[in-house]
Structure 1
Amino acid sequence: MPVVKIQQNQQRVNDFLESALAQVTVNEPRLHQAMNHGLLLGGKRIRPFLVYAVGEMFGLEKSQLDHIAGAIEAIHAYSLIHDDLPAMDDDELRRGQPTCHIAFDEATAILAGDALQTFAFELLCQAPQSDAQKVQLMQCLTKASGYRGMCGGQALDLAATDRSVTLEQLEQIHRLKTGALICAAVELGAIAANASSAHRELLSTFAQNIGLAFQVHDDILDVIGDTETLGKPQGSDEAANKSTYPALLGLEQAQDKAKQLIEQAISSLQALPFDSTLLQAFARYIIARNQ
């Protein structure tokens, strides 16, 4: 069920983003093409899925969530474009295709990332929520994507390259680098639905656990996956001398940790007075996926 729902939401957010980008006045065609390349190259669309799933759990229609789902995917796409640059992770493949700086050039890739970041907030400004909700949505996404979230986590990750880190330090890196945006997706859906603080707290616990589990499983896939399925070189983390959960804990213990995190996530959902079946199934999918 989660795979089918994810695919349905993939298509919906892809169509929405393609339409939204097509409406942008093209001043420089090459940059616009690079934005399309970075944003519409594919991907699981996990973050938009979470926006839709949480909002719908509270009774919202998908049409009330499209701008929010599109915004968080635009932020995610910009971060991947910049992560792939030679100055960062220096990757040439993303989702089985040339990365943005390979398909175009470094300067264009940097500008495409910058443009997608601002495009995200333009989408939030156009969302159908009230002005008060839009302020909350902006606060949530800026915190999650900036110094206190994703960017800060990437800086910690870069600083940890070629260095030994503790399990606690590794968790801090990934709670910021990967987890912050996943938590934001859940929170954005809850804000759009005007969820109570008590319900948002339970959802926050769910999101923190799946966010970390997502990264633990990504680290595991880098060890046991294959390049064709992953869409990027298998073993790239080890080649880059990055600290990972399998490297710190061993493969079996890393797998056990991911399972424990998912159990904790599901437990928090079960305390909600709503039908959380889809979100529970999604949590299990996180550690069952092969890419």
Structure 2
Amino acid sequence: MSDTTAAVEAATVPAVAEPPSGVVRPRRSGWLRGRTVARSWPALLSWLLLAGLVLVALVGPLLVQGDPLRQTSSALLGPGSAGHPLGTDDLGRDELARLVHGARPLLLVSFAATALAAGVGTLIGLVAGYAGGFVEQVLMRLVDLALAFPSILLVILLVAAAGPGTVSLVLGIGISLAPGLARLARALTAREAARDYVVACRLGGTGAPRILVREVLPNIAGPLLAQVVMTLSIAAGFAAGLSYLGLGIQPPQPDWGYMVQAGQEFLFSAPRLVVLPATLTLLFVVACNFVGDDLRDALDPRGAV
């Protein structure tokens, strides 16, 4: 075959298109891949404790036969009394039933308020971190203004303005905790927005909402999830504290925070009325903190394998 014929045949063979060297394909989040949780006994104990308390709140009222609102003729019965394993309170109500039924309101308010804070804070952080410029300045100055108030004071003002109750408690706690999550979400989003896979999506004509939901959010979900779980402990502390002050769950519905306030009059004669609900609240808060720390260590990109 002559050189001329070979050149003609080579020219007629279609060349395989190579992707531009400067374009990086969008990466997919692998923040849960290869990670393990509960790698130490405090973390494992915290996971079990948190799961146990949630299970008590969900199915406990179905298993405990006592009525938390029913009063008996004898008040302040001691533990081990007939039909009352943990005794009764000053109005003759079964203490075990009140503890079990009191878990659901506290955990419901805590989870709902944390979900609200996570949703609002993540949305603000995503928009501010991705848009930058004037939009970021306006949103983050509003966040800084909210953070200038002590969280507990802001919660009390919001709940007091809306009136005591479950809905106002969720709204007040959720709004007060959203700015902290917004700052974290903005920092993580701004970091991811400068990466090559986001630039590639922009060059490909992908819209901002799709980039944020499909690309950025999955890649910042790990650190955000860890912080959200730790925020859950703050929400629980706020909910119990406001119930103690009379601004939260209203009687006669049992609630751990209100039970502490109602039992403090009998702190020396019947300390279990204060110690038991306070201990359960403390265990829930501590478990959330340890679980959040464990998630942060497991989802830390620097610890990825």
Q: Establish whether TM, by shorter chain, passes 0.5.
A: no
Length-normalised TM-score, structure 2: 0.31
Q: Which has the higher contact order (CA 8 A, sep 6+)?
A: 2
Length-normalised TM-score, structure 1: 0.32
